[in-house]
Amino acid sequence: MHIMEGFLPVTHAIGWSIASAPFIALGLRSINKKISEHPEQRMLLGVAAAFTFVLSALKMPSVTGSSSHPTGTGLGAILFGPTALAPIGGVVLLFQALLLAHGGITTLGANIFSMAIVGPFAAVAIFRSATAVRLPFGMSVFLAASLADLMTYLTTAAQLALAFPDATGGFPASFAKFVGIFAITQIPLAICEGFLTLVVMNALVRFNARELQEMQVTPRSGVRA
Amino acid sequence: MKRYQNLLLLLAVAALLALPLRIVKKPPTTHGAPASLFAGSDDQARDLIQSIAPDYKPWATPLLQPASSEVETLLFALQAALGSGFIGYYLGVSTTRARMMRATDTGAKC
């Protein structure tokens, strides 16, 4: 999902940066508030950031014969809410843009929007809907993390299709082409992301039950471990 | 089942990642260029941009380009190692704390 340096027209690059900026500000405020109220959650925030750091570094082979990487934003979004991930994902993307030539400064706004904003918001929306219809906790975590991963890649496809509409078919034709590259490859990787998120969440539920109850991730009574 | 859930999940991930390596066949070489297998989807997207808009010139280039694919691998491995190191440390702290809390609980009841 990394749109490469210079591969978005100037107006799009600026537009996505402006669109992402308020979420970064809201996210920083939300993180500051959480940490000043609950300093003991600082380590868990580190875990959420570390998880994104690891997963976005793992390029995995997929059945389409190409490779891509998960995003790791679902875990942090479920734990700390969707906006907290905007600055965290931003740091990860900045690291990759500056040191690894993956993504770029000019495309940072667009990449933050897909990976660190759309993904986390999708994760929280899916997690809350799934728990509202009383799906098991593990299933809710899995669905939230894997569908958020897919949503991130669909967003990237839409961003590229907006910037580079097909000469004859316009946006829809171009979107279909980019979805063809990103989405099919991503399906098995999104399932992997859902499983890996559940592995870490299971460990947290088992060993950090009290924190998770305080954060209202798991219900106060009867935690399934 | 619950007890082995994490083990099963990790095995499922390993299977999902190993499967493509077995079933995807190397495509025939086209235009004399060696066909690449498991290329990054980001690079494929870049190629698609260039085929949709052949006149588009990227207007910025990365500040730092890793000197070689080995250096790039090193940096990606470093990224993964730092992240998993921190998660491992935290889980270690958490399991020890949970065990000690259990020990004090049972101790208090005696």
| Residues from chain A contacting residue B91 (CB–CB below 8 Å) | 203, 207
Q: Model pTM?
A: 0.91
Q: Is the pLDDT of residue B56 over 70?
A: yes
Closest CB to B62: pick one of A101, A177, A181.
Answer: A101
Sorted by where each begins, the domain ranges of chain B are: 68-110
Closest listed residue to residue A47, CA positions, set B96, B88, B78: B88
Chain A residues closer than 8 Å to B62 by CB: 5, 97, 101, 104
Give CA–CA dist A81/A171, Å, rounded.
Answer: 32
C-alpha to C-alpha distance for B65 and A151, rounded to whole angstroms: 29
**CB proximity list for A61: less than 8 A, separation 6 or greater:** A67, B17, B20, B21, B24, B38
How many whole angstroms separate alpha carbon A94 and alpha carbon A99? Answer: 8
- Please name which of A140, A138, A119, A118 lies closest in space to residue A129, comparing C-alpha atoms: A140
Mean of the per-residue pLDDT values of chain B: 85
Query: Domains (ranges, CATH) in chain A?
Result: 10-214 (1.10.1760.20)
Checking if the pLDDT of A137 tops 90, the result is yes
Taking the C-alpha atoms of residue A187 and residue A185, their distance in angstroms, rounded to an integer, is 6
Q: What Rg do the C-alpha atoms of chain B give, in angstroms?
A: 24
pLDDT (tens digit, 9 = 90+) per residue, A10-69?
999 999 999 999 999 999 999 999 999 999 899 999 999 999 999 999 999 998 889 999
SS3 B30: strand
B76/A167 Cβ within 8 A: no
Helices (H), chain B: 5-23, 41-52, 69-109
CA-wise closest residue to A115 among A221, A15, A206, A24: A24
Pairing assessment for the beta strands B39-40 and A66-68 based on DSSP bridges? parallel
Residues in chain B within 8 Å Cβ distance of A206: 98
Distance separating alpha carbons of residues A205 and B43, to the nearest angstrom: 38
Mark yes or no for CB contact A5/B9 under 8 Å: no
Tell me the pLDDT tens digit for each residue of A162-189: 999 998 999 999 999 999 999 889 999 9
Work out the minimum CA distance from A26 to partner chain B, whole angstroms: 25
Mean pLDDT calculated for residue range A101-113 = 94
Residue of chain A minimizing CA distance to B87: A47
Percent of chain A with pLDDT over 70: 97
**How many CA atoms lie less than 13 Å away from A7 in the CB half-sphere?**
28
Q: Looking at the partner chain, which of A101, A192, A224 has a beta carbon nearest the beta carbon of B17?
A: A192
Kindly give, in sequence order, each residue whose CB lies less than 8 Å from that of residue B45, ignoring residues fewer than 6 positions away.
Answer: A3, A156, A160, A178, A181, A182
Treating both helix axes as pointing N-terminal to C-terminal, what angle do B69-109 and A42-55 enclose, rounded to 10 degrees? Answer: 150
- Alpha carbon distance B102, A102 (integer Å): 46
A217/A1 Cα distance (integer angstroms): 28
Q: Which residue of A has its CA nearest to B80?
A: A54
Give Cβ neighbours of residue A140 (< 8 Å, ≥ 6 apart). A126, A127, A130, A131
What does the block give as tokens for A186?
């991503």
Which of A46, A12, A110, A61 is closest to B53 using CA atoms? A12
What is the enclosing helix (H) or strand (E) of B39?
Answer: strand B39-40
More confident residue, B108 or B85: B85
Chain B residues with CB under 8 Å of A198 CB are 5, 9
Question: Using 50, 70 and 90 to split pLDDT, how confident is the model at B17?
Answer: very high
Chain B neighbors of A1, CB-CB under 8 A? 42
